[in-house]
Chains A and B, each alone.
Chain A
Amino acid sequence: DAGVIQSPRHEVTEMGQEVTLRCKPISGHDYLFWYRQTMMRGLELLIYFNNNVPIDDSGMPEDRFSAKMPNASFSTLKIQPSEPRDSAVYFCASSLILPPETQYFGPGTRLLVL
């Protein structure tokens, strides 16, 4: 298996623009997680899905952030409008079940909002 795939790997945009991050989980994994990593706040869970259904979105910072999972092999995280403070590395991860099952992380998308 190719592992968790994320695109793009790098994104530079201007404040106010819409940003869409994409994730393809490992085939057969029922759980998908979106994390954000910054120097100040470390690694934060934004939202996670089980069988394409959002289970916990309490980590989504504002209404500007939205996430969807239209099918088992694809998820998006959208920021509209983007702001400089959204600059971070965004990771997608997937797992068969919740912990103690291991989560597998994608390589991340490095977002810079100017």
Chain B
Amino acid sequence: AQSVAQPEDQVNVAEGNPLTVKCTYSVSGNPYLFWYVQYPNRGLQFLLKYITGDNLVKGSYGFEAEFNKSQTSFHLKKPSALVSDSALYFCAVRDADGGSQGNLIFGKGTKLSVKP
């Protein structure tokens, strides 16, 4: 069975500081990994994804994520946080060996708060 965990309900950072939002996953095969962001009263927006290849994935708005197979992690990072980055962030996984069955499994979400 596949699962994803976001161990922090909330992350607080000061504007200009680096930020990390943590995600760990469990799949039986190779993973497809995603990060989505949800701003208040909006739907989820795609940020970035890992399929294969380079472990460091770059996405929208200056975000990046590092795939670490040995630690089964896919942490979201940004070198310098902005107040406008404040939102709810979701990590999601799908087993790449799932064939035509199965969809994304989403984490519970992590609320990021960036203070001026």
Contact = CB atoms under 8 A, between A and B. Distances in A.
Whether A associates with B in a native complex is: yes
A44 B70 CA distance: 28
A106 interface: yes
Contacts of A100: 32, 49, 51, 94, 96
A50 B35 CA distance: 23
Contacts, number: 52
A91 B107 contact: no
Contacts of B100: 98
A36 B8 CA distance: 21
A105 B45 contact: yes
B103 A56 contact: yes
A104 interface: yes
Interface string A85-104: 00000010100001110111
A25 interface: no
Interface size class for chain B? 20 to 34
Contacts of A91: 43-44
State the main secondary structure of chain A at its contact with B. Answer: strand
A106 B108 CA distance: 19
B43 A107 contact: yes
A109 B64 CA distance: 30
Interface size class for chain A? 20 to 34
A103 B36 CA distance: 10
Contacts of B44: 43, 91, 93, 105
Given A42-B108, A42-B109, A43-B90, A99 B103 contact: yes
Interface string B29-47: 0001010100001111110
Contacts of A113: none
Given A99-B34, A108-B43, A42 B106 contact: yes
A103 B104 contact: yes
23 contacts: A42-B106, A42-B107, A42-B108, A43-B90, A45-B103, A45-B104, A55-B101, A56-B101, A56-B103, A93-B43, A93-B44, A98-B94, A98-B100, A98-B103, A99-B94, A99-B103, A100-B32, A100-B51, A102-B49, A103-B104, A105-B44, A107-B43, A108-B43
